[in-house]
Structure 1
C-alpha cells in the first residue's frame, strides 16, 4: 500500500495534546453534507452516534437540495444501541437548524450536542425520543483518543467526497440513562463531508473497523477501479495508506431487501465469520462481529438506491421530524 501520511500530533487527537482547531467549516451549499460518526463497544453493548448536517438519511434533503435546500435545514441526530446484536434503541430526529457554540467547539442539534474539549476528549450527548413515536432517550459517549488523527483523504480522485479518521482508537465510556447502562470499552470517531449529494457520482461504499488488542484497522472499499483505503492506529501512531487495487473477492449474500453484504467482516489480516446484521434497509446495512478481544463493525451503503422515490417514501417511517429545537 502507498503511504498517505505518517503518524503526527494532528489537531489534538492524542493523549497529552490539546485541540489545535475547533469544528471544521459547516456545509453551506445545496447538496453538500458533513457528518460526525462515532461507535463504541463496551461489554455486551455496542452503540453508534451520528450528528449529520445535510442528513444522508433524509428523504426531504434528497428532494429539497435540488431546489436549493441547505444542509443545516436538514440536520439530524442518529443514535442506535445494541445489546448482544439486538437493537434496544433507535433514534433518528431531523431538525431545520443546527448551531455552533463554545468558541467553535460545540455542535448542537436540537437538545443533543457534540463537544471537542480543550483537554482533547470527544463528547457526544443525545437527548431525544426514539423514532418514530418512541420514548425518551438520554445517552452519552466520551472518547479519550489513544493515537493521532489520520490526514483527511479524498475518497475518489476528482470527486468531492472526503473522509478523516479523527479518533481511530480511543478509550470510551458509554452511559444510557434510559436503560441504566454505564460501561467502558473502546471507541472510534470519524467525519465525512462532500460538496454534492452522495449517489450523484459516488454510488456507495463498504467499510469495516476492527479493534484488536494492540491496534485498530479501518478498511474503506470504494466502487469501480478505485484503490481501497486503510487506516492503522495503535501504539500512539496512526498511518493511512491507499491501494493496491486487487479487486473485490469478498463472498457476499443478499439481505431481505436485496442489498449485497459481506458474509465475513474483515479489516487488515483478520477475518470474522458470520457477522450479525444490526441494521438492514433497502440502501444501508450495519454489521458487527466479535471474537474474544477482537471487535469489527461494518457498513454497506448504496446511495443511488436511496434516491429512488419508493425508498425515500419508506425512509419517512424511521425518522422523526422536529419543527423546532
Structure 2
C-alpha cells in the first residue's frame, strides 16, 4: 500500500474526561468530527468521508484499569454523539454520554436505553445506546478474541444515523492464550 491519508478536523474539543477516580485513565475526544481523505497510488483507490480523533492516556495499561467497555460515535445532522461506558477492574462502572456541537464543545446528554447487539464471531458481548431498541449491526470490520469494531444503523435524539461502535473485553485480552496470539495478525474483515 502506498498513498496519503489526510484528517481535517471540523471542530476541536479541549476537554478531557477522567475514566477513574485516581485519574489513572483519561480520554479526550480531540476532534469529534473530522473530514477524512484517502488517496492511494497502490492500489489505485481513493475515499473520503467523516471521521473522528480521540486519545486515551494513562499511568497504567488499559488492562490494569478496565474489564470491558462499549464505545460508539455517531454524527447527527448538527451534533456528534459519543457513548462510552464500561466496567473497571474493581467492578465499578463508568459511563459518559456526550454531545458535541459544531464548535466541538462537549455537553452531557441523557443516554437512550441500552440495546443488546448480537455477539461477535468470537462471542464478544456487544451493546449500544439507541432509541426504541433501533440499532442494527451493518458490518463488523474487525473481529478478534477481545475486540470488535462495527458500523451500526441506529436511531438517537430523533434522527437515524450510522455509528461506529467498539466492544473491548480486557478480561479476554489478559488471557494467556489471547496474549500468545497477539504476535500473529488478527484478520480484519474488508
The yes-or-no answer on 1:220 pairing with 2:84 is yes
Query: Which of 285, 288, 296 is the matching residue for 2:148?
Result: 285
Report the Cα offset of residue 168 of structure 1. 0.5
The yes-or-no answer on 1:173 pairing with 2:37 is yes
**Per-residue displacement from partner, 1:189-222 (whole Å, max 9, x unpaired)?**
0111111122223222110010123221111012
Give the distance between the partners of 1:168 and 1:140, measured in 2 at CA: 22
The yes-or-no answer on 1:250 pairing with 2:115 is yes
- TM-score using structure 1 length: 0.48
Task: Output aligned runs, 1:267-286, within 5 Å.
Answer: 271-286=134-149
**Per-residue displacement from partner, 1:45-101 (whole Å, max 9, x unpaired)?**
xxxxxxxxxxxxxxxxxxxxxxxxxxxxxxxxxxxxxxxxxxxxxxxxxxxxxxxxx
Please name the residue that 1:261 is paired with: 126
| Partner secondary structure for residue 66 of structure 2 | coil
- TM-score using structure 2 length: 0.79
Report the Cα offset of residue 251 of structure 1. 1.7
Query: Which of 50, 63, 80 is the matching residue for 1:199?
Result: 63
Give the distance between the partners of 2:76 and 2:135, measured in 1 at CA: 12
Q: Which has the higher contact order (CA 8 A, sep 6+)?
A: 1
Give the distance between the partners of 1:211 and 1:186, measured in 2 at CA: 8
| Partner secondary structure for residue 177 of structure 2 | helix
Contact (CA 8 Å) 1:140, 1:175: kept in 2 or not? yes
Contact (CA 8 Å) 1:229, 1:243: kept in 2 or not? no
Closer/same/farther in 2, CA of residues 204 and 212 from structure 1, 3 Å limit? same
Give the distance between the partners of 1:148 and 1:270, measured in 2 at CA: 31
Rg larger for: 1
Give the distance between the partners of 2:94 and 2:109, measured in 1 at CA: 6
Please name the residue that 2:73 is paired with: 209
Task: Output aligned runs, 1:5-154, within 5 Å.
Answer: 137-154=1-18
Contact (CA 8 Å) 2:98, 2:108: kept in 1 or not? yes
Segments of 5+ residues of structure 1 without an aligned counterpart are 1-136, 320-325
Query: Which of 241, 259, 283 is the matching residue for 2:108?
Result: 241
Contact (CA 8 Å) 2:115, 2:130: kept in 1 or not? no
Closer/same/farther in 2, CA of residues 169 and 158 from structure 1, 3 Å limit? same
Closer/same/farther in 2, CA of residues 180 and 304 from structure 1, 3 Å limit? same
Contact (CA 8 Å) 1:279, 1:287: kept in 2 or not? yes
**Per-residue displacement from partner, 1:242-292 (whole Å, max 9, x unpaired)?**
878x9x843243323221123xx5468994323322111111111112589
State how many pairs are aligned: 179
Contact (CA 8 Å) 2:115, 2:129: kept in 1 or not? no
